[in-house]
Amino acid sequence: MPDEKELKYKSTADIKVPKKIFEQVIGQEEALKIIKKASLQRRHVLLIGEPGTGKCSGKNTIIPTSEGDFRAEDIYKILYKNNEEVEREDGFYLKPSKNIDLFTINKAGKIEKEQIIAAYKSKEKKKCLKITSRSGAEIILSGEHPILSVEKGVFVFKKAEQLIKGTVIGMARSLPLLNKEEIVIKPTKTTEVIDNKQDYLIKYKNNNGISCINLSLPKKMNKDLAYMLGVYVAEGDYSGVVNFSNKDKRIKERIKEIAIKNLSYPKELIIDTEEKLAFKRGRTFGAILELAFDQKVWDYEKRKKLEKQSGKKRIPKIVMCGKENIIRAFLAGYIDGDGHFDKQGLEVSSASKELINDLRLLLLKLGIISRTTKKLKYASNTEKKTRREYYYLTVSGNENLVKLKKDLHLLKEYKKNRLEELSFKKGNTNVDLLFESQELLKELKDNIIINYKNYKTHNQNFNRFARGVQVPSREYIQRLVTEINKELYKMKGLRFNLVKYEKYSEYIKEGIKNFYKNLEENKKYFSERSFQRYRKGEVQPSLNMVCKVNNIKNKSKEFYQLFKKAGELMNLNSKAGKSFENKLLKTTMISMEQSETMLDEFCKKITQIEFILKKLEIISDSDIFLDKIKKIEFVEEDTYDFEVKNTHNFIVGNGIIIHNSLLGQALAEELPPNKLVDVLSFPNEQDENNPLIRVMPRNKGKELVNKLRIQGFASSKNMNILFFILLIASLVTPWWIRKQYGDILAAASLIGSMILLASFIFFFSINRRMAPQQKIKIPKLLVDSSEYKTSPFIDASGAKSGALLGDVLHDPLQTFSPLHSSYLNNKKSKLDKIVNRILKENELIKKDNYIFTYTKPKKYFTFGYNNKIEENNEILSVNKYKFKGSLIKLITESGKELIVTPEHKVAVKGLFNKINYIRADKIKSRHRLITLN
């Protein structure tokens, strides 16, 4: 043992804590201040976090919305109008009245729109994490904020503080188009805008009152304007003259035609030189670029043209929100101006980081995945060789280049031809890869025999993917899933035939019992000598003989071939026994046990394969691109957060998918405690299926239930004491009589005591049934608010569990698929028609994702099964909702099908023909479903 150093301080107050320790704490700023102070003083601190705290993104984070792409700070300002903030220690909360939708990922991994239902703003800057992915996507968020990731082929949310370099994160592969086309231009002190029917008339006056040329501007965006703007953003600048620095004659001629046609620019003021195309007296043109198309050309503080305009370039909002043809026309102009094609694909560069981020977002709207990087280099258009930061964007991969080429009308022929060549180039470019899928592929390999030739995949490649040596592409997994689904279809057909083996084996077992039981009756089937040997047990009958005696067709060879086929398709631990016609009973029984074991394993593995394929389908068919974290840094930032309805996640500008925090819970806590209530359910004597629901003030419901329980206990206490006395007397009295009078009287006394005790129990039970009005009825406490200091809130978003997108079943309703037929008032019809008719004829009650109605009494009837009798039963209510999950499909031996939710209970035949109701997801192949004729 090493020598222990002597402590040189008397108490923990003397211990000094380095600032490095507590300076590394991220998020929860109010708590952080307390921690810092307490840690320096060596105090103990209990941390209890409030819902909604810490889970935030930076104020400058670009978030795509249904109205356009905005910074997080700007979205909060829009929502703040006509709404009241709730101020708390950690920041401001509000529930917006204005409908703004964010783009989100649903449980199936598809993009959809969902409404913002709550918003948050921090009071001061917080310490956050700046996460950069390998593809160049960036996001600033607090350590508590969950971000989409993947584990073992399943999408999950992880807190940012849990992420490390190399962690896989999920990003959007595409974004919906907004298809806006209206050009908006607002007048200023120097710019007059006259609204004509077809276009705007733009007039500009200098501060000295001298007017510039008047120009027109279309009210709607068109492809020509979009192309011209693309070239300007790539190579344009303003210096009193609007310049397009391009030497290509076709491009300059095209821009000149567009300006004359769309802006009514005087032809004589357009100067075409070898180096560029210049628009003289271009102040009005510059105003249009600035006011309508978001280009920074003027320094209003210094009252002169803006220096270094390239670093301020942005893609116009009307293009970002535009139709697909507008976006492609802009990209054509931009690539003609500043695009370059190398061996891998497209590369563009800019001094403006915002422009490159805009371009990345714009490409996402076409479903094109790009990568961004940062480099130091010299500017190519200046004599002063100063190294500065430039931002690069690249597009590679066959799939992305094919999407880019579509309807992209480039004027530079060599760029057009190069893009054509690259789009036909095949090979794995390692762009759209499905990380963390090796576990699923390994499970698949353990369950199914992979026929690599049929699946059009190489043995070595698949094994590398399953071992995690290489990462498969999305296209590879999609192709693999398609091929295995074909094999799975064959397996299900085989299972349909093999399930019949259970009934066949039951017939054989019953036949063996009957063979020996009815040996005398079956004597005619064999000789006298064989009969005597069977009776003495000297020999066993063959399977053929058992089948012959019981008039059963011997199908053992037929079933053996089916089991053999199952073993060729699937990796099974058990093997089917060879049960041919000439086998004896002992061998037959062993073979039957082996076959039944194999059948059970075969059915289970089909379910496992379906489960694995479902996971592979979700990740391969999803709108989610998988990337890895390249770098994590610490920054300080003002933070904002938004809660999105239903899916509880949203997409930020670079495509990264993040989870919203528990803002709903934080807002729920603002409800005063005196508004909370207890909800009780009382028994209804008239209708036991419809209890009486009553509401009482907070804590009163619990008090009532406790009071009634005490009364009920007191009323039964005396009866219990009397019963106990009689029980003791009935046991002791016979022994006393036996001692005094003998055995005969003791036996009579014992019998009499038992009769008395039984009579007491019988009449006590009858009394309880005949006098229910005397029984104290204790209600059920459905909602107990006594323990709540604030409004109760249940988070069903998956934020705490780390599960994906609506992982809680919000409406656990038991429902059928609309594909079925049923009876309404003795008439057969499709179930969806029946439901739609009833919903149409009654008052609807609408919830988040379903609608239902209570029907009018004695109006609708359908067939049911009651006490083994088919009868017409009244329909009391009907509901219809969108189920987000996997349904269960049940198929009987007679071919009847039933598709229901996993929670739905189905009638099956139990022992002694008893009817049992079992959840659909718990039903096995051995169960017998009850069907009506």
CA distance 402 to 56: 37
In this structure, what DSSP letter does residue 473 have?
B
487-505 pLDDT per residue, tens: 888 888 888 887 777 777 7
In this prediction, residue 429 carries a pLDDT of 58
In this prediction, residue 704 carries a pLDDT of 81
In this prediction, residue 144 carries a pLDDT of 82
26-36 pLDDT per residue, tens: 344 444 444 44
Band of the pLDDT at 670, cuts 50, 70, 90? Answer: very low
What is the share, in percent, of the chain residues with pLDDT greater than 90? 20
Query: Of residues 859 and 53, which shows the higher confidence score?
Result: 859
In this prediction, residue 327 carries a pLDDT of 96
Alpha helices in 573-683 (DSSP H): 585-621, 663-668
- Residue 32 tokens read as 């952080």
pLDDT at 190 over 90: no
Candidate from 163-177, 512-526, 582-596, 739-753 with smallest mean pLDDT? 582-596
What is the β-pairing status of strands 915-919 and 905-909? Answer: antiparallel
Spatial neighbors of 60 by CB under 8 A, at least 6 apart, are 71, 72, 73, 140, 637
In this prediction, residue 632 carries a pLDDT of 93
pLDDT at 270 over 90: yes
273-296 pLDDT per residue, tens: 999 999 998 889 999 999 999 898
CA distance 102 to 645: 10
318-363 pLDDT per residue, tens: 999 999 999 999 999 999 999 999 988 999 999 889 999 999 999 9
In this prediction, residue 292 carries a pLDDT of 92
- CB-based contact 127:25 (threshold 8 Å): yes
Band of the pLDDT at 209, cuts 50, 70, 90? Answer: low
In this prediction, residue 905 carries a pLDDT of 79
- Residue 589 tokens read as 């029984």
Candidate from 473-482, 637-646, 647-656 with smallest mean pLDDT? 647-656
pLDDT at 11 over 60: no
pLDDT at 168 over 80: yes
Candidate from 35-39, 385-389, 706-710 with smallest mean pLDDT? 35-39
Q: What average pLDDT score do residues 7-13 get?
A: 41
In this prediction, residue 457 carries a pLDDT of 60
Q: What is the mean pLDDT of the chain?
A: 77
In this prediction, residue 272 carries a pLDDT of 93
CA distance 428 to 441: 19
In this prediction, residue 408 carries a pLDDT of 93
Query: Of residues 480 and 14, which shows the higher confidence score?
Result: 480
pLDDT at 774 over 60: no
pLDDT at 892 over 90: no
- CB-based contact 414:576 (threshold 8 Å): no
pLDDT at 912 over 70: no
927: left (phi over 0), alpha (psi -120 to 50) or beta: beta
Q: What average pLDDT score do residues 902-912 get?
A: 75
- Residue ranges and CATH numbers for the domains of the chain are 12-41 (no CATH), 57-173+623-668 (2.170.16.10), 191-423 (3.10.28.10), 496-618 (no CATH), 678-783 (no CATH), 821-922 (2.170.16.10)
Helix or strand or coil: residue 165? Answer: coil
In this prediction, residue 817 carries a pLDDT of 55
Q: What is the largest CA-CA distance in the chain?
A: 142
Count the Cβ atoms, other than its own, within 10 Å of residue 476.
20
CA distance 157 to 170: 9
